[in-house]
């Protein structure tokens, strides 16, 4: 990020928006001013030892803003992202609204930062499961080419926002107390269960969440012929998604060569020593950096 910028976070009070504000502060970025926006302005949020009011979004909310981080639903992004862009802000949108728009770059900074140069005021952020997969796969794709990907994702309830987090906590507590479990955020009870259904079913009985992995991977890697089959499962974990990825490459690659490539890749930490019972787990990655 350039120095001394004015930043807005739209959707600041939601689960993703709260994390955006937290990361902005943790990274000690040079932010001149922070504007927090939501559908309603009812509270304040902590920022660098003080309190910042949350303002209700409106037509003038993005005036004087350099970078606008959007953590809202797709229909809200479609309404307000053009408004922010016309005000002179560069919008970085976390929703699915613009991801497959040919005029909007879909960017993972560790993979295709050069695509940012083509932006026209809006930059899209990929789906969470796509980012996780491609951070690991892009270095291997550059080295040997990937023809086919079979992915299984095990997605934490945080992917459903605060409602998902609250529901798993409430159901776990009620289960331990012998109370009946209420269901609202998910299709079925999530405590002590797995639900192979995230977003709506669509093409060929894949869910939209599963199709995002295919479509977004092709766009980010500039690999329109990449073959992808994905299964997405919601699991009773609070935070940090997990994935199992099986790939077919253009040329043969050994496991050790793959590990060596990943050890030098940005955003990747290799934890692979099965004989020592060391392997990636959500408890080791939730709310943790690579340092």
Bridging pattern class, strands 146-155 and 67-70: unpaired
Whether 1 shows a pLDDT value over 50: the answer reads: no
Cβ neighbours around 57 below 10 Å, total:
23
Residue 10's pLDDT band, with cuts at 50, 70 and 90, is: very high
Distances (CA, A) of 269 to 220, 266, 286, 291: 21, 9, 14, 9
- Whether 289 has a pLDDT exceeding 80, the answer reads no
Q: Is the pLDDT of residue 228 over 70?
A: yes
Confidence band of 284 (pLDDT split at 50, 70, 90): confident
Q: Average per-residue pLDDT in the chain? A: 94
pLDDT band at 203 (very low <50, low <70, confident <90, very high): confident
**What is the C-alpha to C-alpha distance for residues 98 and 224, in angstroms, rounded to an integer?**
18
Task: Tell me the per-residue pLDDT of 12-24, one tens digit each, with 9 for 90 and over.
Answer: 998 899 999 999 9
Single pTM value for the model = 0.89
pLDDT confidence of residue 97? 96
**Least-confidence region, from 2-6, 79-83, 161-165:** 2-6
Pair 101, 123: CB distance under 8 Å: no
CB of 149 within 8 A of CB of 217?
yes
- Is residue 21 within 8 A of residue 168, CB to CB? The reply is no
pLDDT digits (tens, 9 = 90+) for 172-200: 999 999 999 999 999 999 999 999 999 99
What is the set of active-site residues? 128, 241
Instruction: Give 288's pLDDT tier (boundaries 50, 70, 90).
Output: low
Reported confidence tier of residue 3, pLDDT bands at 50, 70, 90: low
Task: Label residue 290 by pLDDT band (50, 70, 90).
Answer: low
Please name which of 67, 86, 71 lies closest in space to residue 1, comparing C-alpha atoms: 67
The pLDDT tens digits for 106-146 are 999 999 999 999 999 999 999 999 999 999 999 999 999 99
Q: What is the DSSP string of the chain?
A: --SSEEEEEETTTSHHHHHHHHHHHHTT--EEEEEEEESS---EEEETTEEEEEEEP-TTTTTT-SEEEE-S-HHHHHHHHHHHHHTTPEEEE-SSTTTT-TTS-B--TTT-GGGGGG-SSEEE---HHHHHHHHHHHHHHHHH-EEEEEEEEEE-GGGGHHHHHHHHHHHHHHHHTTPPPP--SSSS--TT--B---S-B-GGG-BHHHHHHHHHHHHHHT-TT-EEEEEEEE-S-SS--EEEEEEEESS---HHHHHHHHHTSTT-----BGGGTB---HHHHTT----
Residue 286 banded pLDDT, cuts 50, 70, 90: confident
């Amino acid at each position: 990020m350039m120095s001394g910028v004015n930043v807005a976070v739209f959707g600041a009070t939601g689960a993703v928006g709260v994390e955006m504000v937290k990361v902005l502060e943790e990274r000690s970025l040079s932010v001149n001013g922070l504007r927090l926006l939501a559908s309603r302005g009812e509270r304040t949020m902590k920022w660098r030892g003080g309190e910042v009011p949350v303002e209700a979004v409106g037509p003038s909310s993005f005036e004087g803003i350099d970078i606008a981080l959007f953590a809202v639903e797709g229909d809200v992004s479609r309404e307000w992202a053009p408004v922010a862009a016309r005000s002179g802000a560069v919008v970085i949108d976390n929703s699915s609204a613009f991801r497959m728009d040919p005029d909007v770059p879909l960017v993972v900074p560790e993979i295709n930062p050069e695509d940012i140069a083509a932006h026209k005021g809006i930059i899209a952020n990929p789906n969470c499961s796509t980012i996780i997969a491609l951070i690991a796969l892009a270095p291997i794709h550059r080295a040997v080419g990937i023809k086919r990907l079979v992915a299984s994702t095990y997605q934490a309830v945080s992917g459903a926002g605060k409602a998902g987090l609250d529901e798993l906590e409430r159901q776990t507590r009620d289960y331990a107390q012998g109370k009946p479990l209420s269901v609202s955020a998910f299709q079925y009870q999530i405590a002590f269960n797995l639900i192979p259904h995230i977003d709506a079913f669509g093409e060929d009985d894949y869910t939209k969440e599963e199709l995002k992995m295919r479509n977004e991977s092709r766009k980010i890697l500039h690999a329109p012929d990449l073959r992808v089959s994905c299964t997405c499962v919601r699991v009773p974990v609070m935070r940090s998604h997990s994935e199992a990825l099986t790939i077919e490459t253009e040329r043969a690659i050994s496991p050790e060569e793959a590990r060596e490539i990943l050890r030098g890749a940005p955003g990747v930490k290799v934890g692979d020593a099965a004989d020592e019972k060391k392997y990636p787990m959500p408890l080791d990655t939730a709310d943790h950096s690579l340092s």
